[in-house]
Structure 1
Amino acid sequence: MTSDVIPEGVGRTAIGVARVRALESARTDRLFEDPYAAAFVAAALDGPPPAPRTDVSPAMILLAHHLVIRTRFFDDYLTAAGRAGCTQVVVPAAGLDTRAFRLDWPAGTKVFELDMPAVLGFKERVLAEQGAQAPVARTTIAVDLREDWAGPLVEAGFDPAARTVWLVEGLLVYLGAEEAAALLDTIDSLSAPGSRLALTHGSKDRRRAGASQVVAGAEHAAELAPLVAMWRGGLDEDPVGWLARRGWRAERHDRAELAVGYGRPADYVTSQRSLVTAER
């Protein structure tokens, strides 16, 4: 029987992300609106979300800013991919993502969300309590992404011959190099020509491409120690080159430039290019 309590470990990080999205959604100048984020936080805490803190460390602030910018960027990217003919959307490690409910999808779009059973159990309970209804076909698939997940995805109605947009957000850093490569290999094998991919590539090793000021700050913030302890580094090479060898046209995007474009401060001292998109 699937639990409806958010699990510890990586599952709990989804609550932190939901809290950031709830706070952003409450702003008058918000970059996006997630109508269910606050409900997830309240359900996890068994009470109303706490008020914004005033004693937040610089590392926490930087991480929150990063999450807001990447959420808006991926919102726009997925919406554009749908309008360009990607009729399927697949989100491995979907966590508490609610894009199936809150984005403007073309008619006929199918959204597939994959995650651990306990995460999906909690998510579905809260969405049901909120009366959430996705405007498009939405399928959840309980899997461990370190094992075979292509089979369950196809069995659930995914069509490898149809154009797909994939979102791998905040996942790779929690995987080892071989696991990250295996996940991307599976995505590659299931992607028809014209498919698109968006991912975050963050490395614990600051000498590697993708290492960022967010990672560096988190490593020295005591409140983020449990999060950092779960990071395993992800893909051990630049994903742009990795994807290019497999026939994808990939590029990195600078978060500071994106922030300025969205009317937010460019609070990154150095170039932060951990957001990657690609098209086959």
Structure 2
Amino acid sequence: MTETHEQWGITSGVGLTALAVASARAIVTGSEGGLVDDPFAAAFVRAANPPRPMPTGPADAGDDEMWAAMAAYMGLRSRFFDDLIAGSDAPQLVIVAAGLDARAYRLDLAGRDVYEVDQPRVLEFKQQVLDDLGARPRCRRHPVAADLRDDWPAALEDAGFDRSRPAVWLAEGLLPYLPAEAEEALFEVINARSAPGSRIGVEQVPGGDVESMDRMMRQLKADERVGIEMDGLLNTAPRRDPATWLRDQGWSVRVEAADEVAAGHSQVFPAFLNDTMAKAELTTADLPG
């Protein structure tokens, strides 16, 4: 018998965190000197009509400490992964747990195949908003409606993914929500399907200490202010270090702290992030050709 998993939309469960990230990108997009330009982020927030209002630009955020921290970090994170993609000529891009990622529309990815893996209801919502805007992808875009707890690799290949061709894989804003065994399985799946010349982009909380991220979100009162139910949302079980494991599999790995990447863009994080996400590990791994 096939196990039935809980499904969520964009205003429930993990989907609501994707909406909050879109809100943060909308703040950055409207801010002078912002590191990312996402013209679709505000539209996602407006269309979702979340249970608690979320900013659709810097004027909405005002001087709110939580949204300032979110915007600073998410802007930097988005730019890091944008640059990671631009630095590779791999013909395929796989965004795991894509959420409201709009890179297929906002980046010049002409001639490349972009696969967005996520829950069906999340992808349906995103598609409807983009269609309403009359947006057109700047690549060959392939939505892959699949639960990461099911056989998503088969769904990915059914959508056209070719494991004989190099690919860029993104695990952005994902790992803290996975059980340790699921995280390990994710990297094993990616490693087995990566041709030489492939690249992986990974975001990890400092030292894999998910408890620090959980404390930060509780301190920011994310449950009250954004409507995110914190209990059971993040998985704090110990896990292996993905950078070490990837090196053991033959990947060339570079790990950078988020605040170091920010300094390279002449950006300074709010002091509130110094003990938590400012030290998040942004990892790039390349499989030699």
Alignment TM-score > 0.5, same fold: yes
Does the C-alpha gap of structure 1 residues 175 and 214 become closer, same or farther in structure 2, counting only changes over 3 Å? closer
1:13 paired to 2:17:
yes
Q: Which residue of 1 aligns with 2:182?
A: 179
Does the C-alpha gap of structure 1 residues 253 and 241 become closer, same or farther in structure 2, counting only changes over 3 Å? same
Q: Which residue of 2 aligns with 1:25?
A: 29
CA shift for structure 1 position 135: 1.8
Answer yes or no: is the 8 Å Cα contact 2:163–2:195 preserved in 1: yes
Does the C-alpha gap of structure 1 residues 101 and 151 become closer, same or farther in structure 2, counting only changes over 3 Å? same
**Aligned with residue 265 of structure 2, among 253, 262, 265:** 262
Alignment of 1:219-238 (within 5 A): 219-224=218-223, 226=228, 228-229=230-231, 230-233=233-236, 236-238=239-241
Cα RMSD of the aligned pairs, angstroms, is: 2.6
**Aligned with residue 81 of structure 2, among 69, 74, 92:** 74
CA shift for structure 1 position 137: 0.3
Q: Which residue of 2 aligns with 1:247?
A: 250
Does the C-alpha gap of structure 1 residues 66 and 21 become closer, same or farther in structure 2, counting only changes over 3 Å? same
One-letter code aligned to 1:158:
F
Answer yes or no: is the 8 Å Cα contact 1:91–1:113 preserved in 2: yes
Q: TM-score, normalization: structure 2? A: 0.84
Q: Which residue of 2 aligns with 1:53?
A: 61
Q: Which residue of 1 aligns with 2:132?
A: 129
1:194 paired to 2:197:
yes
Q: Which residue of 2 aligns with 1:88?
A: 92
Does the C-alpha gap of structure 1 residues 80 and 184 become closer, same or farther in structure 2, counting only changes over 3 Å? same
Answer yes or no: is the 8 Å Cα contact 1:257–1:266 preserved in 2: no
CA shift for structure 1 position 209: 4.3
CA distances 1:32-89 after superposition (whole Å, capped 9, x unpaired): 21111011000011899474234623x55333321111111111111111xxx30000
Aligned-partner Cα distance in 2 for 1:10–1:32: 23
One-letter code aligned to 1:196:
R
CA distances 1:76-116 after superposition (whole Å, capped 9, x unpaired): 111111xxx300000010000011111122x4210000100
Does the C-alpha gap of structure 1 residues 184 and 98 become closer, same or farther in structure 2, counting only changes over 3 Å? same
CA shift for structure 1 position 215: 5.0
Q: TM-score, normalization: structure 1? A: 0.87
Give the share of equivalent positions with the same residue, in percent: 37
CA shift for structure 1 position 275: 1.0
One-letter code aligned to 2:47:
A
Q: Which residue of 2 aligns with 1:44?
A: 48
1:111 paired to 2:119:
no
Aligned-partner Cα distance in 1 for 2:8–2:222: 26
Q: Which residue of 2 aligns with 1:35?
A: 39
CA distances 1:227-264 after superposition (whole Å, capped 9, x unpaired): 64311137702211111122211121121121122121
Does the C-alpha gap of structure 1 residues 153 and 234 become closer, same or farther in structure 2, counting only changes over 3 Å? farther
Provide the secondary structure at the position in 1 that maps to 2:87: helix
One-letter code aligned to 1:192:
A
Pairs aligned (count) = 269
Note the residue ranges of structure 1 that are not aligned, 5 or more in a row.
none
CA shift for structure 1 position 202: 2.1
Aligned-partner Cα distance in 1 for 2:200–2:36: 21
Aligned-partner Cα distance in 1 for 2:143–2:106: 16
